[in-house]
Amino acid sequence: MQTEKGGVLFVVGSFLLWGFMPIYWKHLEHVASEEILSGRVVWAFVSTFLAVLLMKNGKQLWSDVKELWSKQKQFWSLFLAAVLVTGNWFIYIWAVNHDFIVQTSLGYYINPLVSVLLGLFFLKEKLSTAQMIAFLLAVIGVVLLTISYGSIPWIALSLALTFAFYGFIKKNIQLDALRGLAIETAFIVPVAAGYYFFIFAKGQVAFLHGDFKTDLLLIGTGIATALPLLLYAKGIQKIPLYMAGFIQYIAPTMMLFIGVVIYNESFGKMELLSFSIIWAGLILFTVSKVYESVVTKRSVQ
């Protein structure tokens, strides 16, 4: 029981940090999104690589790389995962700094349902009646938002799709969270560093050309990326998956609150109706998963 409590604290901590992220990125809204992303990739790699060395896991990291290379399908799958999560990071940073925090919260609300859809198509998994209704409710909510906006909420859908596909790929690659992030960012570091050199040469860079606070925040993007992921990886091993499913809605709920209350983003009656329908779908989906887990546990016993 004590172990489970510790796991809950770690997972809650990770989603609280992810929930507060819009405030962090808003403090960098004067910096181009492309530079923030490049800095995030570079500093995430530096942070995770140093952490690996400090934990004396350098040999294990090298072993991971060699093992991945010996399994070419997994190697290139991880490369694709790295591209997807980098795209996800960019969309999220751009959206926050262009006043679309509410849409980012929508993206992470519907992400679990997109993951279910991937399982349905690619793994031939079957949905229960409750899960099918939950998915249909989410679709109705998104359609209502599309009618309300007059355009497809591409930010929310892009975030949900990129992160769902990222999770789908990572599910089949067994890697330590810290070393895995080091390898993933290593794939993208050459492009990120190259872009940094390019904007340095053109004199269009904010890093080391502005105030100390901006430099510190840009360097801190590495820790801001790695820390919640490591807390999640540490905690998820100690708690049931259905419990993590409940906890994960902390982050998009906080994003929604921050977008509407702190940054005064629009959230009218149509948005409230659409989100309410999606929330109903998520509640139905989560309750059905909890029921499945309980039944499975009893049958095993």
Digit-by-digit pLDDT tens for the chain (301 residues) are 556 667 778 888 888 999 999 999 999 988 888 999 999 999 999 988 988 888 888 889 899 888 888 888 889 988 998 999 899 999 999 999 998 998 898 888 888 778 777 777 777 767 778 878 887 888 888 888 788 777 788 998 899 899 888 878 877 777 877 888 889 899 999 999 998 888 888 878 878 777 888 899 999 998 898 888 788 777 766 776 556 666 778 888 889 889 989 998 888 888 888 888 888 888 887 787 777 766 666 665 5
For the record, the structure tokens of 155 come out as 């930010």
Nearest alpha-carbon partner for 27 in 214, 261, 204: 214
pLDDT of 299 reads: 65
For the record, the structure tokens of 200 come out as 């340095």
Q: Could you tell me which residues come within 8 angstroms of residue 295 by beta carbon, excluding any fewer than 6 positions away?
A: none
DSSP, collapsed to helix, strand or coil, labels residue 8 as helix
State how far the Cα of 280 lies from the Cα of 120, in Å rounded to an integer: 21
215 within 8 A of 208, measured Cβ to Cβ:
yes
Q: What angle do CA 213, 219, 223 make, to 5 degrees?
A: 120
Instruction: Residue 132: count other Cβ atoms within 10 Å of its Cβ.
Output: 16
Report how many helices (DSSP H) and strands (DSSP E) the chain contains, helices first: 12, 0
Q: How far is CA 249 from the centre of its chain?
A: 12
pLDDT of 95 reads: 92
For the record, the structure tokens of 37 come out as 């992303």
State how far the Cα of 138 lies from the Cα of 144, in Å rounded to an integer: 10
pLDDT of 300 reads: 58
State how far the Cα of 244 lies from the Cα of 248, in Å rounded to an integer: 6
DSSP, collapsed to helix, strand or coil, labels residue 9 as helix
301 within 8 A of 254, measured Cβ to Cβ:
no
pLDDT of 234 reads: 74
What is the length of the chain?
301
pLDDT of 125 reads: 67
- The sign of the dihedral angle between the CA atoms of 132, 138, 141, 147 is negative
278 within 8 A of 131, measured Cβ to Cβ:
no
190 within 8 A of 119, measured Cβ to Cβ:
no
Residue pointed to by tokens 């820390």: 227
